[in-house]
Chain A
């Protein structure tokens, strides 16, 4: 792939939307948004990582990894177990949980290396389900906290306790928000770089025609493994951070309906294989769902689902990316007048 050289002005103009969003997000806490919405946005930032996890791998190689929720949740469990049974403080166990979880994702990958298409998807979906079954079964569930899950001190709690009472809460909310924002931004930038790198090209080659790619000398096995691990890294970071900010760790972290479906939906509505589409969709969809509670309360489930059905049925390839491209064209037209 050859990219035409772009003028400096063009480069800056094309980055304006991204930079604007970045500035807004950074200043958000000071715009009197309120702790609840900061909390929501923290979650949405972290979910961006999961969205990217799916998009980076499944959007390129077309191997649908439905086991992301396992990796996400396992990071949380690792973090909690390190904390509860080994006494490692949350701040460190969060970091330790990430490589542990990436490693554990091999549980999904290794058995399925030779498997393609819909069977890969089925197999990957079974992993979180089995994990949930084991974890909730009686001999094990007692060690895993029982009903309330594994409880531990949330991230920075000890430090926060040392602060004056009025500041404690704000400190926690702001620090969580900024951590999640930094993670999201770095994650996005890295995803961007990967996407346009030679490795990204190889991933897409595998998705287009795996045999052909193999034939042109690409080590498809290595590409798939590395790609999968990168994807797991994203999910692991997201899971570890998320769990550290919201104890207790329960099986809810692994339930596909909670941590697979929303990011997957963002990927689909945003446009599988594009980056900016799912990213925007992630924010748009999750924030809308939260917002709807204030508007229509209990009806939001039906309304939201109907909206999804309509959007996806009309445009199964996703509408956000196309809309974004159109918007950019329009803006470019406006600015060059």
Chain B
């Protein structure tokens, strides 16, 4: 029995040490409070008597905004950090129309059900706007609530085209929805701009397409079918894969055998890792251009132990001066939170400032005035410039919202597209087989 106790203690100690050491260098990733902090807060909130609402000197009152996010996912936490940062900045400059802004959140736990409950919760707490809304299924779950509660939503995610159709078909019911990001078709279009250019530049007419077999890819498929025909590119190999796929070896073999001259890929889960691994192991001699949530992380190269070399990935938001606000935000976020902002984190940050600016332009918090301000103005953010279309999504264009494509070269993310942001002296790595091994040949780029 004593032996058992000793063993348990040892296990506990080692586990504790492992946990302590796992904090990545650079600081804590999330702003999750420690349990002690939380308990202290609860206790002190009962001890000190503070009347609500507190009016801070300089502000005429407080308004709330709601963040509806999947806080069980890292991206949700990161978006919340960005939203909070934006709110703090706004308050530091005197708030919105003299009101101090406060963020309240609701965890959707990545389900439509909780998203639905969350919107109602936030609306009843009196928020003036709901931001976040990362998942399409989350957005679709709340669409029919908008006309009942009349709280506008400025989402930074939820790319489903179905939402855009809803706004177009029944404006009065869905006018409250705005997307400070692009829809799925735009995402596909951006990738195809590069694929089309590569086709023209290198004379490639055969493409292999490997994708994650989930509904969000369908608009990409539809768009690709049409665009490929326009560009004179034939898709010689198509393969959908499950998220838990264990190996791409056979898929790559088939892609090469089909005569494809380059590959495009789309994943949102951990397939990126397997893909990179087999891309390297199998010495696949085809350029691979695509998008994956993890492939755009700065840590991806090391995590794959260099297998990611040569992969070209899309990135929405990137640390280069897309606008004059980009680098400030990037550096500030990184210094405060220890990791770089990725993907929709940029857009979440922008969405808050967009709302604030719209309110200022409208001169009030009234929902219809704000909607009108959003529809009739252009907003400069960190990820680009936002202009809302008739379906209330952001315009995809080089001078509006547009992604960056980078290639993993020697562990670094080198921007290769679009050309207006590519640095002089950049090279593109092309794969070729020399003496039975795949090597990367650097050519001047553009």
Task: Tell me the smallest distance from the CB of A141 to a CB of chain B, in Å.
Answer: 6
Most A C-beta atoms less than 10 A away, residue of B42, B116, B148, B240 = B148
Rounded to whole Å, the gap between the CB of B132 and the closest CB of chain A is: 15
Q: Are A298 and B32 in contact (CB under 8 A)?
A: yes
Cβ-neighbour of B112 out of A35, A149, A172, A297 (below 8 A): A149
Please, what's the 1-or-0 string for B135-165, where 1 marks a CB less than 8 Å from any CB in chain A?
0110111001000110000000000101000
Q: A34–B123 Cα gap in the complex (Å)?
A: 11
Question: At the interface with chain A, which of B7-15, B210-218, B407-415?
Answer: B210-218
Residues of A197-254 at the interface with B, using a CB-CB cut-off of 8 Å, are 246-248, 250, 252
- Inside 8 A of A288's CB, which chain B residues have their CB? none
State the CA gap A161–B299 with chains docked (Å): 51
A71 → B minimal CB distance (Å): 18
In the complex, chain B residues 301-316 whose Cβ is within 8 Å of any chain A Cβ: none
- The smallest C-beta distance from B157 to any residue of chain A, in angstroms, reads 12
Interface of A is mostly: helix
Decide: A148 near B38, CB < 8 A? Known: A36-B121, A138-B240, A252-B113.
no
Q: Are A258 and B113 in contact (CB under 8 A)?
A: yes
Q: Which of B32, B120, B139, B160 contacts A35 (CB under 8 A)?
A: B120
- Measured CB to CB, the closest approach of chain B to A140, in angstroms, equals 11
Residue B117 lies at the interface, judged by CB distance under 8 Å to chain A: yes
Interface residue? A104 (CB, 8 A): no
Q: Within 8 Å of chain B (Cβ to Cβ): is A169? A: yes
Query: Which residues in B have some Cβ–Cβ distance to A below 8 Å?
Result: 32-33, 35, 38, 42, 71, 105-107, 111-113, 116-117, 120-121, 124, 136-137, 139-141, 144, 148-149, 160, 162, 213-216, 218, 240
Q: Which of A39, A142, A154 contacts B215 (CB 8 A)?
A: A142
Q: A293-B107, A295-B42, A298-B71 are in contact. Are A247 and B213 (CB under 8 A)?
A: no
Chain A contacts to B: CB under 8 angstroms? 34-36, 39-40, 138, 141-142, 146-149, 151, 153-154, 157, 168-169, 172, 246-248, 250, 252, 258, 293, 295-299
How far does the Cβ of A152 sit from chain B's closest Cβ, in whole Å?
A: 10
Given A298-B71, A298-B107, A141–B113 Cβ distance below 8 Å? no
Given A169-B148, A296-B38, A298-B32, is A148 in contact with B113 using a C-beta cutoff of 8 Å? no
> What chain B residues lie within 8 Å of A298 (beta carbons)?
32, 71, 107
What distance in Å separates the Cβ of A44 from its nearest Cβ neighbour in chain B?
12
Q: Which residues of A contact B214 (CB under 8 A)?
A: 147
A252 engages B111 (CB within 8 Å): yes
Contact of A147 among B105, B120, B137, B144 (CB under 8 A): B137
Expressed in whole angstroms, the Cα–Cα distance for A153 and B124 within the complex equals: 22
Residues of chain B lying within 8 A (CB to CB) of residue A295: 42
Q: How far is the CA of A258 from the CA of B214 in the complex (A)?
A: 21
A135 CB to closest chain B CB (Å) equals 12
Query: For the complex, what is the distance from the CA of A34 to the CA of B139, rounded to whole Å?
Result: 23
CA distance A298 to B215 in the complex (A): 29
Contact A299 B38 (CB under 8 A): yes
**Sample of 10 A–B contacts (CB below 8 Å):** A34-B124, A35-B124, A36-B121, A36-B124, A148-B137, A148-B139, A149-B141, A248-B140, A298-B107, A299-B35
A141 neighbours in B (Cβ, 8 Å)? 215
Measured CA separation A293–B105 after assembly (Å): 10
Q: How far is the CB of A84 from chain B (nearest CB, A)?
A: 14
Chain B contacts for A172, CB-based, 8 A: 148
Residues of B within 8 A of A168 (CB): 148
Specify which chain A residues have a CB less than 8 angstroms from the CB of B240 in the assembled complex.
138
Q: Which residues of A contact B38 (CB under 8 A)?
A: 296-297, 299
The residue in chain A whose Cβ has the minimal distance to the Cβ of B136 is: A147
Complex Cα distance A225/B441, Å? 71
Are A154 and B124 closer than 8 Å at their CB atoms?
no
A154 to B143, CA, bound (A): 12
Whole-angstrom distance between the alpha carbons of A149 and B137 in the complex?
A: 8
Set of chain B residues within 8 Å of A138, measured between Cβ atoms: 213, 240
Q: Bound state CA distance, A8 and B303, in angstroms? A: 74
* Contact call B136/A148, Cβ cutoff below 8 A: yes
Task: State the Cβ distance, A87 to closest chain B Cβ, in Å.
Answer: 18
Bound: A308/B141 CA distance, A: 30
In the bound assembly, the distance between CA atoms of A169 and B107 in angstroms comes to 23
A248's contact among B42, B71, B112, by CB below 8 Å, is which?
Answer: B112
A200: min CB distance to chain B, Å: 34
